[in-house]
Amino acid sequence: MFKIAFSGAQNCGKTTKSRFFYFSCLQMGLKTELVEETARMCPFPLDDKADFKTQDWITRKQMSLEFEVKSKKPDVIVCDRSILDPLIYSKFLFELGKMTDGDLDIIRNRVDEWVHTYDAIVLCREYPMVNDGVRSIDEKAQIHINDLFDETVVELGLKNIRRT
């Protein structure tokens, strides 16, 4: 089994790229499962309006969905986001004073335990901003979140990263 996730700031093409990869795998005859973006399922506010309960819910849901599709024994699991995404947004929220050190530690510990289950994480970059009515279209925030991704990849010592 090969598990790949597409991660990055809001509005950077993760869903488009993950779908393309998913359908490409299917066309090659591989048994492929797709883990949908969990943030859109979240009952709590997103982006700069979020807090610990948002990131807690998203990390738990992401792990649960990935575990569920793994039980189907596919050749490939394609994730539209990774467990890394809520850690990055947690750091962003911490900077805004919306999460405590303890909150951030809880999310970081979950990520530390799970992030190495991916064979590859594709970090998606700037993409034309689209107002979908759900995610922020703040370009400065998008750039800052991209920087947080870069810092965190180094901090966690991740070697399975690819950039688009």
What are the domain boundaries of the chain? 2-163
Which has the higher per-residue pLDDT, 128 or 14? 14
* C-alpha–C-alpha distance, residues 47 and 39, integer Å: 10
Report the alpha-carbon angle 79-83-86, nearest 5: 120
99-117 pLDDT, tens digit each? 999 999 999 999 999 999 9
Report the alpha-carbon angle 127-131-136, nearest 5: 80
* C-alpha–C-alpha distance, residues 13 and 129, integer Å: 9
* DSSP SS3 for 95: helix
* C-alpha–C-alpha distance, residues 4 and 74, integer Å: 12
Q: What share of the chain is helix, strand, coil (3-state, %, to 5)?
A: 50, 15, 35
Whole-number average pLDDT of the chain: 91
60-109 pLDDT, tens digit each? 999 999 999 999 999 999 999 999 999 999 999 999 999 999 999 999 99
Q: For the whole model, what pTM was predicted?
A: 0.90
What is the CATH T-level fold of the domain 2-163, as seen in this structure?
Rossmann fold (3.40.50)
